Structure 1
Amino acid sequence: MKLVVTSIAEAATGVRDIAFAAPDGSELPGFVPGSHLVVTAGERTNAYSVTSDGIAPQNYSISVLRIEDGDGGSRWLHDRVSIGDVVDVEPPRSAFPPAARATKHLLVAGGIGVTPILSHLRAARRWARKVQVLYTFREGHAAHVDEVVALAGRQAELFSDRRSFTERLDLVLADQPIGTHLYTCGPAGMIDHVVETAATVGWPESRIHFERFGADVLDAGDRFAVRLTESGTTLDVPSGISVLEALEDNGLTIPNRCRQGVCGECRLPLSAGTPVHRDLYLTDEEKGLGDAFMPCVSRASEGSTLEVPL
């Protein structure tokens, strides 16, 4: 899709809100809360959570945190994009949807991780779902605070210091009605703490949902091997190097876009081996089949060699 930039605003220190619309003003494809928009930003393609309403949308809005040492996508969207520019955008795709039958939605956000939480809040407000929000941020760096409060009202709790947030989180996780689903997004350390605390007090794994920012926040992983069955070549994939990078380093060209496990462009078939799926693209059913994986982020389980028909 070629969409035009219709508005740009500063949401917080280092955070820019950008809205895209169809050039002719027509309605855009709808999407479920927690969806990503894959945007071509200069020479790179990055995925961003859509913060706007997914019902009959007239625009798609994203919030972009400027990352100086990132791959350049955020800097391009901060420094090079202006209102009226036409940008290549992939239609939104679901990666972090709410459970429709949950009795309550507990939303925990940290920093820029509030972006997918905001779309969950919009849906909760629209469908009158019971919701509670805990949002922690650094003083002066909070994006969308006014919108969170407007959508959640008294059910929105804001924290600018870690100790208060942690203490309140412990209490909230230990006192929820049966059927509540937990959703969390933010820095890796915060997500790990939320998930571990929830598991400790007895939350079922099926009711804990989290979204990381992409491959950059995943652990480096252990070394493993990939056997290319058609060429008979075996590649060594060291810790901190993706399968996609290993393939490219050996002269193979694999179509790819986001390199974050979101867009699905680099999907490869799998002949054998047990992958550790770390993407946001394949469904649970597809992951269970074990016949495909996303080489940009996924790795092999301990002691396993992945076999790819290349």
Structure 2
Amino acid sequence: MADVFVAASIRDISPGVKEFAFRPGLGAALRPYAPGSHIVIETAGKANAYSLTGDGTTADGYRISVRRQGDGGGSAWLHDRLRPGDTVRLSRPRSAFAPVATAKHHLYVAAGIGVTPILSHVRAALRWNRSFEVVYGYSAAGAPHLEDLQRLARGRLFEAEGGAQLAEVLTDRLRQQPVGTHAYACGPAGMMAVFRKLGGSLGWPEERLHVEHFAAPELEPGEPFTVRLASGRAVAVPGGTSALDALAEAGVPVPALCRQGVCGQCRVAVAAGTPEHRDLILTSREREANDCFYPCVSRAQTDELELEL
């Protein structure tokens, strides 16, 4: 569900990055959200997800920071076309990257524009007096929200310029964490791979390493299969067509946002059959359970997949 919001302010915060603040339009309302949440903005016929940077209380509206990427996409439209006073449609906040309530300590890791959900986590941690520290990697070309983190984290911020230094700092901080720590990372794919590899090599349980992806990689078309609904109806899913699209065409729409196996909106329970998991959300243990899948990207290892729809 999307509501109308008004662009309250727009400002440059670093080269190629702008911060956008939104206030509710007619009939819309601000809703509290979990740290690490995102909203989806409808721009010029497209829908893109952007992380909220506030602490979740919405005292100053919804705020996002967006790096301009190429031409013709959502970020270019926001940078080049949106002006204060213009209206846009925003989804309600949603999170697949919330802090773990039982964690004794939180290690937040950001690189580049991946700082946005981490900034939300830090602000919430300060509000609720949670134990935390931050590792922030950036390039000489720019470090969005660096001054904010320096002010907020005060002695708990570990900076790294460039990939090599980030790997060194991250290795050190992952080694130093007390028992009961959960680590959260957001940034480019390369950094995320290093984060997971280092965590695994240092003995971190997979369920204590949390990641927020920007987008999924390109996927192969996959083999055709059949989705069986709870009613017994069969829906064919051709190669190169997502189960999400096949279901929608058959009149069985499933709520979805990113359509890349990143946001978690389209999760569906599996009653029988074996999914071919292609999402970037499930842990290894969750994949082995084979009791759910994300139809926007995932397919089936078996000829038929029975869903609880």
Q: Which category describes the TM-score, using the shorter chain as reference length?
A: 0.7 to 0.9
The aligned counterpart of 1:131 is 132
Alignment counterpart, residue 41 of structure 1, candidates 40, 43, 48: 43
- Distance 1:228-1:177 versus aligned 2 partners, 3 A rule: closer
The aligned counterpart of 1:104 is 105
The aligned counterpart of 1:114 is 115
CA–CA distance in 2 between the matches of 1:233 and 1:4?
A: 41
- In structure 2, the gaps of 5 or more residues are none
Secondary structure at 1:93's aligned position in 2? coil
1:121 and 1:152 in contact (8 A); partners too: yes
Deviations 1:200-231 (A, max 9, x none): 111111211111113xx336257333214577
Matched positions, count: 304
Aligned residues: CA RMSD: 3.6
The aligned counterpart of 1:190 is 191
Taking structure 2 as the reference length, the TM-score comes to 0.83
The aligned amino acid for 1:47 is A
CA–CA distance in 2 between the matches of 1:153 and 1:184?
A: 20
Deviations 1:57-112 (A, max 9, x none): 3300011122216x721121112211111111111112100112212111111111
The aligned counterpart of 2:275 is 275
The aligned counterpart of 1:227 is 226
- In structure 1, the gaps of 5 or more residues are none
CA–CA distance in 1 between the matches of 2:255 and 2:177?
A: 45
CA offset at residue 293 of structure 1? 3.7
The aligned amino acid for 2:224 is A
CA–CA distance in 1 between the matches of 2:165 and 2:182?
A: 22
Secondary structure at 2:11's aligned position in 1? strand
Secondary structure at 1:68's aligned position in 2? coil
The aligned counterpart of 2:299 is 299
CA offset at residue 236 of structure 1? 3.9
Taking structure 1 as the reference length, the TM-score comes to 0.83
CA offset at residue 259 of structure 1? 2.2
- Distance 1:263-1:186 versus aligned 2 partners, 3 A rule: closer
CA–CA distance in 2 between the matches of 1:144 and 1:23?
A: 27
CA–CA distance in 2 between the matches of 1:13 and 1:169?
A: 25
CA offset at residue 233 of structure 1? 6.4
Structural mapping, 1:49-60, within 5 Å: 49-60=51-62
Deviations 1:28-72 (A, max 9, x none): 210110111111112011111100121243300011122216x72
1:237 and 1:243 in contact (8 A); partners too: no
Structural mapping, 1:27-106, within 5 Å: 28-68=30-70, 72-106=73-107
2:10 and 2:21 in contact (8 A); partners too: yes
Secondary structure at 1:224's aligned position in 2? coil
Deviations 1:97-147 (A, max 9, x none): 011221211111111111110001001111222211111112122111111
CA offset at residue 255 of structure 1? 6.8
CA–CA distance in 2 between the matches of 1:89 and 1:143?
A: 23
- Distance 1:161-1:56 versus aligned 2 partners, 3 A rule: closer
2:235 and 2:247 in contact (8 A); partners too: no
- Distance 1:225-1:308 versus aligned 2 partners, 3 A rule: farther
